[in-house]
Amino acid sequence: MGVRFKGWGIAVPDRIVTNDELSKTLDTSDEWITERTGIRERRIGGSAKSLGVLAGQRAMDDAGVTAGDIDFLVLATTTPDRIAPATAPMIANELGLTCPAMDVNAACSGFMYAVRTAYGLLETGNKRILVIGAEHLSRWVDWSDRNMAVLLADGAGATVLEYDANQTDLMSFCLGADGAAADLLTCEHGGFFQMNGREIFRRAVRVVVDSSEKAMATAGITADDLSLVIPHQANIRIIQAATQRLGIEMERAVVVLDRYGNTSSASIPLAFDDARKNGRIKPGEYALLTGFGAGLTWASAVVRWS
């Protein structure tokens, strides 16, 4: 069976927070943040719902579809507006959708988990699915904690996935989860994000490389066949280490974290949209989408752009 990406849309808050601005209230510096993470500025504001609505509408417009054409909404978010109800039905309501709508939480792997879920839904009779990754991470950041405050940010990205009997953009997946590592990156009820950055870093490189190799093997391609790598945007050094181990030069990696920081489940669609707008994805070419996050979770997929 085939699944095609029909359209993309993104939304980020207007408010730009630079490293220099953070350095005024935190014991940090533009030099440290840029060198250790690659992040130069980030967008702060909005909510999972408001950003998700904007990105979702833009993806539907880009796909040339209207509310009645969407059979299912899958929202990836780690930061729903409320514990209950889920944020997806509220986004659906704003978009005029009357279809089923649900949240998926796989942290920074969330968008890829949502795409995998949508793939399964298309396999079983649905025609068109709106997949959104939307995050309001800044709400759960302790702004006096330099460890997290310099990293996390807000944003949303969305795509419309459509069943196609004849061709497919999605060649393979490799997803995984290891709950034994749950305590490495957490946000408790009423609390803030906390993490063991060094350990997450070490494991992230390992699971990204391993799941990427498996996804490529399933798709029947090698790293040489890839035009692009579209990784989760957590840290430039994680992207450098993983691509180096995969034998892919950095020129083939899409990097938007310098502008957007780590937006969790919004980061892969933000990067995909950027690559598409800059003409970096051409018909017939292969791209590797790969993410990891709290859980731990990880998810890689090979895409062949039609």
Q: Whose CA is closest to 209, among 236, 246, 235?
A: 246
The secondary structure of residue 282, as a DSSP letter, is -
Position 24 contacts ligand UT7 (CB under 6 A): no
**Catalytic one among 19, 105, 235, 262?**
262
The secondary structure of residue 262, as a DSSP letter, is B
Tokens found for residue 67: 């509310």
CB of 300 to ligand UT7, least distance (A): 15
Find the helix packing angle between 30-37 and 236-246, rounded to 10°. Answer: 20
Position 17 contacts ligand UT7 (CB under 6 A): no
According to DSSP, the β-strands at 101-104 and 72-76 are parallel
Binding ligand UT7 by CB under 6 A: which of 34, 36, 67, 240?
36
For ligand UT7, the binding residues in 168-187 under the rule CB under 6 A are 185
CB of 236 to ligand UT7, least distance (A): 9
Q: Annotated catalytic, 108?
A: yes
Binding mask 135-164 for ligand UT7 (x = CB under 6 A): -----------xx--x--------------
* Distance set, CA 57 to CA 66, 130, 287 (Å): 9, 10, 25
Pair 60, 118: CB distance under 8 Å: no
Binding ligand UT7 by CB under 6 A: which of 138, 262, 263, 290?
262
Q: Annotated catalytic, 232?
A: yes
- Choice between 146 and 280, CB closer to ligand UT7: 146
The secondary structure of residue 36, as a DSSP letter, is H
Q: Annotated catalytic, 126?
A: no
* Distance set, CA 183 to CA 170, 191, 205 (Å): 32, 14, 18
**Catalytic one among 105, 126, 232, 235?**
232
Return the active site residues: 108, 232, 262
Question: In the complex, which residues of this chain contact ligand UT7 (CB under 6 A)?
Answer: 28, 32-33, 36-37, 108, 146-147, 150, 185, 195, 197-198, 200-201, 204, 234-235, 238, 262, 293
